[in-house]
Amino acid sequence: MSSFQRSQLKHDAAPWIRWLARFGYAAKGVVYCSLGILAVQAALNTGGETTGSSGALDAIASQPFGQALLLLIGIGLIGYVLWRLVQAFADPEHDSNDWSDIVRRLSYFFSGIAYGSLALTALRLALGSSSDSGQSNSQETFAATLLQQPMGRWFVGAAGALVIGIAFYYFYRAFKAKFRKRLRLYDLSQSARQNLIRLCQFGITARGVVFAIVGGYLIKAAKSANADQARSTEGALEAIEQSSTMGQWLLLLVAVGLVAYGIYMLVQARYRKIGVLS
């Protein structure tokens, strides 16, 4: 694609990708807030459960007007998927062509694929169908499939290392807080901006912790050649709770962090600069 075509695509796409992206970020934020709240309730023994994104959708479905909300979430997640694909193929917010550009585009693409599955789950629930209860053991299924292939243990181990790498990227993002450059927070006071940025950093860190645990269990599955060792978000939260005598409090900390990550997504929906390069 020529530089002229690339620039034209950015110009033409900007009006509608803003709407898609904001709706998508909001839907993702609602899912993570729900997931985190359920984990907070589990940690405090006030109901709730440690679950993944699919479990959070099930919980939303059981609420009054839950199916209507799920319909909006499903549509919003489709918007998020389309926004990720726009980022993967057009990358309207960056103007580079080095190796980091390729890595970034691939991450956008695989993120879009993952949330496409979640969007379909939300829509199925909204239409009255049961969810695929396979979300909770998705990592186990993934590991089992790879372990059946030649050099499967190496592939599972590599996947675990990649997930841990993503976790450290989240830690880096939280520490550097470069995301604030893409947020229009000019109408907030300085103290409100600082508190909001800290809350976002906390949320990104919590998500990194979950990724690190998921990656660690994938490596454990590779070493033992046992797919049962692999864990998804639900399993990671359960592992935190069972990790020590302080596990309940650690779970509470991470659960509050996941709520904060959901709020970070809602902040993206409201304040993010979306579209073309400025």
Structure-token pair, residue 61 = 């479905």
pLDDT-flagged residues of the chain (< 50) = 1-13, 133-136, 277-278
Distance CA 157, CA 227 (A): 11
pLDDT tens string 5-40? 444 444 444 667 788 889 999 999 999 999 999 999
Distance CA 35, CA 184 (A): 27
Distance CA 142, CA 273 (A): 35
C-alpha R_g of the chain: 19
Distance CA 212, CA 162 (A): 10
Contact 197, 177 (CB under 8 A): yes
* Dihedrals phi, psi of 183, to nearest 5 degrees: -110, 130
Reduced to 3 states (helix: H, G, I; strand: E, B; else coil), residue 183 is: strand
Q: Show me where the domains of the chain are located.
A: 3-271
Q: pTM value?
A: 0.87
**pLDDT at residue 137, rounded to an integer:** 57
Contact 163, 214 (CB under 8 A): yes
